Amino acid sequence: MNESSGYTYLFLDSLEGMARSALAVLPRLLAAVFILLVGWLIARLLARGLARVLRATRFDRLAERSGITDLLHKASVQDSASVLLGRLLYYLLMLIVVITAADTVGWTAVSTEISKLLAYLPRLLSALIFFVVGFYIATFIRDVIRGATSSLGISAGRIVSSVVYYLLLVIVTLTALEQGGVDTSIITSNMLVIVGAIMLAAAIAYGLASRHVLTNILAGYFTRRTVRVGQLVEVDGQRGRITAMSGLSITLQVSPTETLILPTQLFITHPVLVVEDPAA
Indicate if the pLDDT at residue 265 is higher than 50: yes
In this prediction, residue 263 carries a pLDDT of 83
Q: Where are the alpha helices (DSSP H) in 57-156?
A: 59-66, 68-74, 81-105, 108-151
Q: What is the mean pLDDT of residues 122-126?
A: 79
Encode pLDDT of 134-187 as tens digits: 888 888 888 888 877 776 666 666 777 788 888 888 888 888 888 777 777 777
Residues 178-227: tens digit of each pLDDT: 877 777 777 777 777 777 777 777 677 666 666 666 666 666 666 777 78
* Measured distance CA(10)–CA(8) in Å, rounded: 5
Please determine, for residue 36, whether its predicted confidence score (pLDDT) is greater than 80: yes
Q: What is the mean pLDDT of residues 58-73?
A: 71
pLDDT for residue 52 is more than 50 = yes
List residues bridging with 253 in a β-sheet. Answer: 241, 259
In angstroms, what CA-CA distances link 122 with 6, 26, 119, 154?
A: 60, 36, 7, 45
Q: Radius of gyration (Cα) for the chain, nearest Å? A: 39
Overall residue count recorded for the chain in this entry: 280
The whole model's pTM is what?
A: 0.50
Whose CA is closest to 175, among 191, 188, 189?
188
